[in-house]
A and B are shown apart, each in its own frame.
Chain A
Amino acid sequence: MDDMTSGDIQESGVSSAEGASQSISAGDGPPKMTTRNVNVFYGEKQAIDNVSIDVNMDNVTAFIGPSGCGKSTFLRCLNRMNDTIPIAKVTGDITLEGEDIYAPQMDVVQLRARVGMVFQKPNPFPKSIYDNIAYGPRIHGLASGKDELDHIVETSLQRAGLWNEVKDRLQDSGTALSGGQQQRLCIARAIAVDPEVILMDEPCSALDPIATAKIEELIHEIRGKYAIVIVTHNMQQAARVSQRTAFFHLGTLVEYGVTTDIFTNPTEERTRDYITGRYG
């Protein structure tokens, strides 16, 4: 993976030009991931403009904003999934536990194992449920034997709240599950490599309300064990699952703060307009 873009490292700890109203702090405790002055370009087009945010272990962080505001793009910077798009270029400073993830010596393979991701549409591999979960531990060599692998599969499925539903049919294809189960399978798959951060890109947008409720419950369950960042277009969901909320608009970070504050007492005009449904 040596052909991947490494971002320009900028000496900066200053908040964005958006103004003093915007806090970048993630709250109590040391930040798990920090981002400073991040810009993303797709060819000539700038998709993200100077965003700085911190993420920590205790909180679920939600990114909200109208579609096309860059929240998913920004999320994909956090585990360098933008590398798979040849024209994408990321500048700025993103760290995980103090390490610059765009530094040349950073290993993308390790990074992505540490920063897992769950996608908008459930994307189980066309393999058995067991093999879907075992895939990550196998490629990373996390299990020394069959027993250990079985154990990882079981605990991951338990954490994802899927164990009781699938324990009798682990050899069935992962694609045969319902949409909500598929998405929980994908979360279990991410959990199985023992990540530190889990990125969720609109994980419920393809699901029905009951399946959505299960995923939200699951997010509550695993909060604190992993730093969780969730992108959502659903403001109620952000209010329900997150402790911190960042509002993006047109590629810029408008406001970042404690979720209840954002929803009850936003400092920015644009945030208020969005939350009250003036646009979106």
Chain B
Amino acid sequence: MNNQATSKIDPTPTDWSGDVMQRRIKQRYAAERRFKALGLGAILLSASFLLFLLVVMVGNGFRGFTQTELPVEIDFPALTNGAQPAQFEGPDAESRIRSLGVQDIVNGSIEIQYGNDGTDLFSAGAWTSVQSAILKNPSVLIEKTTFYLPVESELDVAYKGSGNPEVEKKITELGDQLSTGFNGNFMGNSDATDPMQVGIWGALKGSLITMFITLALAFPIGVAAALYLEEYAPKNRYTDLIEVSINNLAAVPSIIFGLLGLAVFLNIFGLPRSAALVGGLTLALMTMPVIVISGRNAVKSVPPSIREAALGIGASPIQVVFHHVLPLALPGILTGTIIGMARALGETAPLLMIGMRAFIAKPPDGITDPSTVLPVQIFLWSDEVNRGFVEKTSAAIIVLLVFLLTMNAVAIYLRNRFETRW
């Protein structure tokens, strides 16, 4: 101890109540408040981005679920030569209705009411809703019936609030006849060239099939890999290699998986382009690491005492894991799986690589049929020039977000409901 040095120090006590010090402290507290406000501002700004995005999407997309309609009165008894409803029941009713020539009947009726150019006011596929109405309820054929049919796209956009002067004039002419109705086609139809006729069902079905394949492949493989790595893998270089690959795969850009799918599944294995099968395979490779990582965390959080207890009564290592560890880790694994699946559901880029960007006007019936998925459909529609697609794109986004938010909500619920603190 250096006594000489210590004695040199003259302890002049700090004057805490002096002006200089008080001013300094005031400044420090002001800095504190500024910093805190900055943090609050940052988080509120981030949240408001989300709010703004949702408002824009919902605001636009809500209109996608509605359509502008004009009434058309169709005198069925006169135009169908007295076709009877009974003719159009039974198994092959559809082909018999086709022979009726509904399109001509509808167009004829339109021309009677709206003049020779009247059909231009309507969506080209307007007659199909009449046809499906007959199919649903053939008894409409026995009398004059008024249908509300969708107008053509430009008129629709204009009536919903943003058209050019020429179309605005038409709207004034039509006046009260125009009305807004629910767009029943949107959830039931598939892609089309006319924005009034497009629907999301084809893409939704494609997404569901693709997700099913992804889940069926990624979940068992991911869980098995997680169990192996966490419970059985010896600590050696090969295990390290597996771990490094999994961690890296989880961070590889998704488009790279698309390139892999293109090079391997399409070009080497010769699987069909645009098929849900290839999409599912590609997304499964992408989702698997996510499931492995969350699965490992869930397995890791099961306390060793449970393993020891099971081993102590003579269970084999496999029995320990499948009877005790896996059931306890399952909620955590499921949470991770749902989050991984939600990510896969929203994924677009790798699917573009494997050709899932074709124009698919028919919902896929199987895993090898050409199909599209929701996010790709959104991408395709966003590229359309026709302004009628803007609201359809947003409407499709709403459908996608509803699915994703539901999945996330389920995941959060699972996490909170089953989260066990050991």
Residues of A within 8 A of B (CB): 1, 107, 109-110, 113-114, 139-142, 155, 158-159, 161, 163-164, 193-194, 196, 217-218, 221, 225
Contact across chains for B25 and A107 when beta carbons are under 8 A apart: yes
Contact across chains for A225 and B2 when beta carbons are under 8 A apart: no
From known contacts A107-B25, A159-B6, infer whether A142 and B14 are also in contact, taking CB-CB under 8 Å: yes
Which among A107, A139, A140, A221 is the interface contact of B1 at CB below 8 angstroms? Answer: A221
Identity of the chain B residue whose Cβ is nearest the Cβ of A196 in the assembled complex: B13
Contact across chains for B11 and A158 when beta carbons are under 8 A apart: no
Contact across chains for B5 and A113 when beta carbons are under 8 A apart: no
| A156 CB, nearest partner CB in chain B, Å | 9
What is the bound-complex CA distance between A13 and B123, given in angstroms?
91
Identity of the chain B residue whose Cβ is nearest the Cβ of A141 in the assembled complex: B24
| B4 CB, nearest partner CB in chain A, Å | 9
Task: Knowing that A110-B16, A159-B6 touch, tell me 19 more A-B residue pairs with CB under 8 angstroms.
Answer: A109-B29, A113-B14, A113-B16, A139-B28, A140-B24, A141-B20, A141-B24, A155-B5, A158-B2, A158-B5, A158-B9, A159-B9, A163-B5, A164-B2, A194-B13, A194-B14, A196-B13, A218-B1, A221-B3
Interface size of B as a range: 10 to 19
Q: Is B21 an interface residue (CB 8 A)?
A: yes
Contact across chains for A109 and B25 when beta carbons are under 8 A apart: yes
Identity of the chain B residue whose Cβ is nearest the Cβ of A221 in the assembled complex: B1
| A183 CB, nearest partner CB in chain B, Å | 16
Identity of the chain A residue whose Cβ is nearest the Cβ of B20 in the assembled complex: A141
A163 neighbours in B (Cβ, 8 Å): 2, 5
From known contacts A110-B16, A218-B1, infer whether A158 and B6 are also in contact, taking CB-CB under 8 Å: yes
12 CB contacts below 8 A, A to B, read: A110-B25, A113-B14, A139-B28, A141-B20, A141-B24, A142-B14, A155-B5, A163-B5, A196-B13, A217-B1, A218-B1, A225-B11
| A100 CB, nearest partner CB in chain B, Å | 15
Interface of A is mostly: helix
| A219 CB, nearest partner CB in chain B, Å | 11
A107 neighbours in B (Cβ, 8 Å): 25
Contact across chains for B11 and A194 when beta carbons are under 8 A apart: yes
What is the bound-complex CA distance between A269 and B412, given in angstroms?
56
Identity of the chain B residue whose Cβ is nearest the Cβ of A161 in the assembled complex: B1
Identity of the chain B residue whose Cβ is nearest the Cβ of A152 in the assembled complex: B9
Task: Tell me how many residue pairs across A and B have CB atoms closer than 8 Å.
Answer: 43
Contact across chains for A109 and B6 when beta carbons are under 8 A apart: no
Residues of B within 8 A of A (CB): 1-3, 5-6, 8-9, 11, 13-14, 16, 20-21, 24-25, 28-29, 32
Contact across chains for B21 and A141 when beta carbons are under 8 A apart: yes
B6 neighbours in A (Cβ, 8 Å): 158-159, 221
| B421 CB, nearest partner CB in chain A, Å | 18
What is the bound-complex CA distance between A140 and B2, given in angstroms?
27
Identity of the chain B residue whose Cβ is nearest the Cβ of A222 in the assembled complex: B6
Contact across chains for A161 and B14 when beta carbons are under 8 A apart: no
B13 neighbours in A (Cβ, 8 Å): 194, 196
What is the bound-complex CA distance between A246 and B74, given in angstroms?
101
A194 neighbours in B (Cβ, 8 Å): 11, 13-14
| B27 CB, nearest partner CB in chain A, Å | 9
| B32 CB, nearest partner CB in chain A, Å | 8
What is the bound-complex CA distance between A161 and B16, given in angstroms?
27
What is the bound-complex CA distance between A220 and B8, given in angstroms?
17
Contact across chains for B28 and A109 when beta carbons are under 8 A apart: yes
| A197 CB, nearest partner CB in chain B, Å | 12
What is the bound-complex CA distance between A225 and B29, given in angstroms?
30
What is the bound-complex CA distance between A37 and B1, given in angstroms?
40
What is the bound-complex CA distance between A141 and B11, given in angstroms?
17
Most buried by B among A155, A164, A217: A155
B2 neighbours in A (Cβ, 8 Å): 158, 161, 163-164
B1 neighbours in A (Cβ, 8 Å): 161, 217-218, 221
Contact across chains for A155 and B25 when beta carbons are under 8 A apart: no
Identity of the chain B residue whose Cβ is nearest the Cβ of A151 in the assembled complex: B9
B25 neighbours in A (Cβ, 8 Å): 107, 109-110
Identity of the chain A residue whose Cβ is nearest the Cβ of B14 in the assembled complex: A194
Chain A to chain B: the 4 pairs with minimum beta-carbon distance, closest first: A158-B5, A155-B9, A141-B24, A194-B14
Identity of the chain A residue whose Cβ is nearest the Cβ of B33 in the assembled complex: A2
What is the bound-complex CA distance between A107 and B32, given in angstroms?
14
Identity of the chain B residue whose Cβ is nearest the Cβ of A144 in the assembled complex: B20
B20 neighbours in A (Cβ, 8 Å): 141
What is the bound-complex CA distance between A155 and B5, given in angstroms?
8
